[in-house]
Structure 1
């Protein structure tokens, strides 16, 4: 005959393990290995069978007690007497006690990981003792990155000592460090730099500039949809720096900005019209172009939350920007092409029109479909041509 499982609510070793795993995942147990705290000994009371349960379902209660025999590794059990005044005294586990963080780690079977963390923390502190604080704050991150954390620490120490390198990021020459490593571990490196230099500002989208490196200038790609306005006959498609674009003052009546290269290239000829391409959030070059204030500016972006976020940013510099093909009609007319936006933004946008705000709110709320995205290049071209201003 099979033994009945423990009654719902009676604490099992698996329940205690779940509670200890939460502590491990908070980093607390690893921190305690380096900096002992007053959290140990830790006592976890066990919900156990009552005298009534012993009387009515002794087999189930006995099976529960057997789960705790022997006591799990790293764990000491406190026992209590139950049922002395009714069915006779029965000794049952009443609490699981972990004398130290090391014992609780042993209970979880994570001793090897803890030893690796202690080794890494010692090596990080050996590079710069100030990074000991980072190891205590991010113990699981240190364990996850392993040797890469040591490399990142060397980069962070160099960046802290050289706040204005005056060279390009690709010229950084440190043993075992290449540009791709820095780009892949930017957040990790910045977190360490912030520990080494608490007051150092680390804002800005451009990582190289943020750390005082020279950076390639922002670039803007242009297409003269009116060939007669090309600076040189036949030169209708060209790229200039953002600074050059700001000083161009092109004599056009209208500018169409789009973040999709295929659509940028496919825009049809139009009198006194200039097309501007900027991938994703890449419209920085337009911000300083004061001459745009005297020109009609149209923005054509994806129908997703980030498309409206880009529009909002562009309009914060040029309030007269008008969106095209970013309305509910266009969205509903292309149901067959609806996709999914992986990481929708929840940003509060203050530069949208009421109609745009409604579409943005619907996308955030998933009113039509959760995480809905309609990429602009998927719009039917006959539909686009019929609605281009």
Structure 2
């Protein structure tokens, strides 16, 4: 028979539930544009008649913890035990008349007032951004004045879809291009509301917003010094056009997203290392001569790593993956991290083993939002498995 004390709802439990509503953004949304959620009744688990009889002192202490009612809420009561030990009036629900009351109960009135002012000012930049604020109220509160600046940038991007200038030439009063570079996700979130029809994907931020950019470049390392064009010239950078136009006398390529891994790859006969940098395979996609070369791709073990592999195969179907398997993932549990924004794309160019792992990552089979960055692999493991 269990000797654990009864578990009745405490004011702290109600606070936890209210905090979930705050953290989801619901309370700020309801305080701004009510949808009828309030008045909200949060039911309390209270002592039963049997528990009153066997744990009266404990039950009385619990009831006293609810008196007086917490700030900004009222209590509903119920009569318990009338037919056994005599009627006892106990709290049965905490009721919040409005979202504002639930916010005051949490002690977050100042934050809610700041949000209301930011919401008003954001709508003044562009009324359509009110919809973005309702989608991401805590983001507006978090970024504050920076969100208003980002809104001005997003509106300019919406009105100038193909500016044809370099991003550094953007002239908005009080906006430095470094601000744009450090708030790209915030700006794009607003732009998605302003221009829902505009595609926002792609690696090169400036290019996908219509700005001029320099030519794509490719960095390569000859892992076989004898294959280099000149003695000592084993680490080179060139335009993508030059890479595509001049086939190299090698048998194998290893392309990797991480610079340190690119630099640390060991010597190998007639092998070229290529630095990709995330979705940056644009530099090699037009190199038709790769069709006659063994090409290996080494990326992070996360959904985006497999997405990059899938896209790379759209240009070079024979590309194979290395060190992107379940064995490698499970051997490095101590280094598992979190992928903040997983891809949910349907990928059609993965082999059966790759697709099984990709589906497991999407489903959170091993861990939700799991990511294993390639630079965290133990180097002895890497060296033993490099092709």
- Identify the TM-score tier after normalising by the shorter chain: 0.7 to 0.9
Would the alpha carbon gap of residues 371 and 110 (structure 1) be closer, same or farther in structure 2, given more than 3 Å must change? closer
Query: CA separation in 2, counterparts of 1:362 and 1:81?
Result: 51
Q: How far 1:130 sits from its partner (Å)?
A: 1.4
Q: Distance in 2 between matches of 1:373 and 1:234?
A: 31
Counterpart CA distance in 2 for 1:318 and 1:31 is 48
Kindly indicate whether the alpha-carbon contact (under 8 Å) linking 2:203 and 2:280 is maintained by their aligned counterparts in 1.
no
Q: Is 1:172 the counterpart of 2:170 in the alignment?
A: yes
| Structure 1 residue 72 corresponds to structure 2 residue 70 | yes
For residue 342 of structure 1, the aligned residue among 337, 342, 348 is 337
The alignment partner of 2:51 has SS state of helix
Match of 2:295 in 1: 298
1:20 to 14, 18, 21: 18
CA 1:165–1:24: 2 relative to 1, 3 Å: same
Residues 46-103 of structure 1: per-residue CA shift (max 9 Å, x gap): 2222333333332122111111111111011122333333333332222221111111
**Bigger mean CA offset, 8-17 vs 68-77:** 8-17
Q: Secondary structure at the match of 1:129?
A: coil
Which residue is 2:254 aligned to?
257
Deviations 1:326-355, CA, capped at 9 Å, x for gaps: 7899x69xx8x9972534678776545667
**CA RMSD after TM alignment:** 3.9
Conservation of the 8 A alpha-carbon contact between 1:159 and 1:193: yes
Give the SS at the match of 1:54: helix
| Residues 123/98 of structure 1: CA separation in 2 closer, same or farther (3 Å cut) | same
Note closer, same or farther for the CA distance 1:87–1:125 as it changes in structure 2 (3 Å cut). same
Q: What TM-score, normalized by structure 2, do the two folds share? A: 0.79
Q: Which residue of 2 aligns with 1:3?
A: none
Gaps spanning 5+ residues in structure 2: where? Answer: none
Q: How far apart in 2 are the matches of 1:325 and 1:125?
A: 49
Question: Which stretch of the first structure deviates more once superposed, 337-346 or 279-288?
Answer: 337-346
TM-score (norm 1): 0.79
| 1:298–1:324 contact (8 Å) kept in structure 2 | no
For structure 1, which runs of at least 5 residues remain unmatched after alignment? 1-5
Question: Where does residue 34 of structure 1 map in the other structure?
Answer: 32
Q: Secondary structure at the residue paired with 1:299?
A: strand
CA deviation vs aligned residue, 1:87-141 (integer Å, no higher than 9, x gap): 3333222222111111111111111111111111111111111111111221111
User: How many residues are aligned here?
Assistant: 372
> CA, structure 1 residues 341+55, in 2 after alignment: closer, same or farther (shift >3 Å)?
closer
- Counterpart of 2:81 in structure 1 is 83
- 1:51 equivalenced with 2:45 (yes/no): no
Larger Rg: 1
Higher mean C-alpha deviation, range 295-304 or range 177-186: 295-304
Question: Are the counterparts in 2 of residues 258 and 264 from structure 1 also a CA contact under 8 Å?
Answer: no
**1:209-224 superposed matches below 5 A:** 209-223=207-221
- Structure 2 CA distance, aligned partners of 1:173 and 1:143? 26
Corresponding residue SS for 1:212: coil
Deviation string, structure 1 residues 283-302 (Cα, Å, up to 9, x no partner)? 22111111222x22332636
**In the alignment, is the contact (CA less than 8 A) between 1:27 and 1:139 conserved in 2?**
yes
Q: Describe the shift of the 1:63–1:79 C-alpha distance in structure 2 as closer, same or farther (beyond 3 A).
A: same
How far does residue 310 in structure 1 lie from its aligned partner after superposition?
5.0
SS at structure 2 position matched to 1:102: helix
Change in Cα spacing, 1:21 to 1:226, as seen in structure 2 (3 Å) is closer
